[in-house]
Structure 1
Amino acid sequence: MSIKFSDIIKGQKEKETHVHEPRFNLEARVNANRLYVKSNNKQTMKKHNYSAGPCILPQEVFNQSAKAILDFNGMGLSLLEISHRSDAFVAVIEEARSLALELLDLQNKGYQALFLHGGASLEFLMVPYNLMKVNGKAGYLETGTWASGAIKEATLFGETLILASSKKEHFNHIPKDYNIPNDLDYFHCTSNNTIYGTQMKSFPETNSIMVCDMSSDIFSRKLDFSKFDLIYAGAQKNMGPAGVTLVVVKEEILGKTGRVIPSMLDYQLHIAKESMYNTPPVFSIYTSLLTLQWLKKMGGIHTIEKINNEKANLLYNEIDRNPLFEGTAIIEDRSLMNATFTLKNTKHETLFDQLWEKSGISGLKGHRSVGGYRASLYNALPLDSVQILVNVMKELENLV
């Protein structure tokens, strides 16, 4: 019988007086992330972090992680030095795997959740290794730099078809007019594109295995996740710090390639070893668990999607209203997670940069390959941080 991490600390919690937390409205609940820092750290105010990743995490996750580094669960040991085979950490990884499936509504549906090394970039290789048959064929939707990287790795294993691409248009939209052949070993897409600020709003129907890279928007919006046979996501956007990757895979699709797979790249082996074939990234998994617990406490994906929509609408409305700015992605494909925009006149960049930096904003510059600006609106970013950015954009308009 599995022991949940929460059960391990139950005895300690029972010693404390139970206090019912007040019910906050959605805005207050998400803004508490920043307000907590303001009220408890008068020396250094928490910045408004728009980094595309590693990115902002809930303040309570930072606090709990910091406490665990000093003394994990009253064990007299740091989280960084406990054995990954200890009961305490086994409970952590088991609960993290279970909670990931629960939040995605994939429990008891034939899926396994894995926490692996290597980032999403390693999944570019692991996916064809585990799913493309010898002399097989896969189809890819090319919607950005990371999709292109996945395509490059797949070509090492067999015929790799680019079914549609927006590369010629600088990835400013999601292709929609394409067909998925019935003889593919799998179809691969990328749900959100951090560099170019586009996001798939719907997904095609196909009889092929469907694989999706959800690194930058997992747990951010309600989808029918059972539509996908394999989902992978680097943690450092909406789930935790860099160092671990979530893979959610339907077991029945594995073991059918007819090829020998190296142990470290074999999903079936990682399932059999319960994500502990080798020493797992303990800190990253623990912090991911805390973030998933925070998300569940917030009300789950359904609730966080409402907040994310409110944040995105606030910013995009200002981008469209303000004559100094313009968005870079086609409106219908704009991302809820990464809003990309530019100044129409680059002569205003120096002043704009000074204004947002002075306002405590960090990480607003666009990806080095495209320039401009990118506001990453991940789950833990408070609504008031978006309002600060909007105020700065209005201030620039008044000054010029």
Structure 2
Amino acid sequence: MRAPEERFESKLHEGRSAAVLGIALGVSFSVCFLTGLWSHFAQHPPSWFDFPARPAGLYRVTQGLHVVTGTASVPLLLAKLWVVFPHFVKLPPVRSVAHAIERLALLPLVGGSLFLLGTGVANVARWYPFPFYFPTGHYWAAWLTMGGLVAHIGAKLSITADALRRVPADPTLVRATPTDRRAFLGGVAAASGAVVLATAGGTVAPLGDLSVLAQREPGVGPQGLPINQTAAAAGVVDRARDRGWRLVVDGAVDQPLDLTLADLRALPQREAVLPIACVEGWSASARWRGVPVRDLLALAGAAPGAEVVVRSLEEAGRYGSSELNGGQAADADTLLALELGGEPLHIDHGYPARLIGPNRPGVLQTKWVTRLEVR
């Protein structure tokens, strides 16, 4: 009777194919982790870090790269697991204490990888069948997975280096012919490229026609801009259309303000072309016009470098407010926008007024603003 690992007859179950796929996964996971950490800091900045307002389109690039590398990792991970699967069933399952530790390190690596990619794809599709808050679960799982990856690299570094040599010291690491290996790895690369092309059009506009699986199409939506949440879903339609709407600027100011929409329109306006960059990976640029937040703060007598809490008519949910650090509030292009593309804001884009600023996640570009609380 053959041992379990001997039942896998393909010679592609070998060290060299595993090494190449492992390197590709290590690169894609590292980029995905770092850009995801950047997104986390943008939304939940630690006390020692002020998220910068410039470059204006940086978050658009990093979050697009995060989703692209995560998507590309799906075929890479499936191929890597297929190549190394015989090792999972090899007997005996544990040969030494060191081997037991190596096996245990695979639990956070393999389990975490499947969890991250599975929930990440679900998030891009805005499908949440799981009972936990996605950003929190994704964040902590990423740390566990990367810890497992570092441990795995340490355990397999010498084997990987040997497998990539022209003539490995261990001949069992190379079983497939170069032609078969190139065909297999080329197919995996093509699969990764295909899923990237099928989804990247939400960020890279020229790929829009190819991206049949993109969550959003740039240019499609009210006033030519996609939306994630409507005013009706936020429960703010009546209050946003109320003629008695006011913008209040208060807190640490010398002169609190209580402004009507007409008052805001009478103030000096500024125009800026800025992107909406959603955490799900899609982004689109638009021309915005409104009152710079720093002008409103100056009018109210706020101290230089003051921070601001921007509050929305949307009282329920996690994104009824956002914060501007001193640098963001002082940036000339951080606007309380009243117009989009030369027209008054559509209600689903935040009418009567919304926050728009450079280098910010879309969830922090607060819509239906009613108050600026200065701290």
Task: Provide the TM-score with structure 2 as the length reference.
Answer: 0.24
Structure number with higher helix proportion: 2
Task: Provide the TM-score with structure 1 as the length reference.
Answer: 0.23
Using CA pairs under 8 Å that are at least 6 residues apart, name the structure with larger relative contact order, 1 or 2.
Answer: 1
Q: Which has the larger radius of gyration?
A: 2
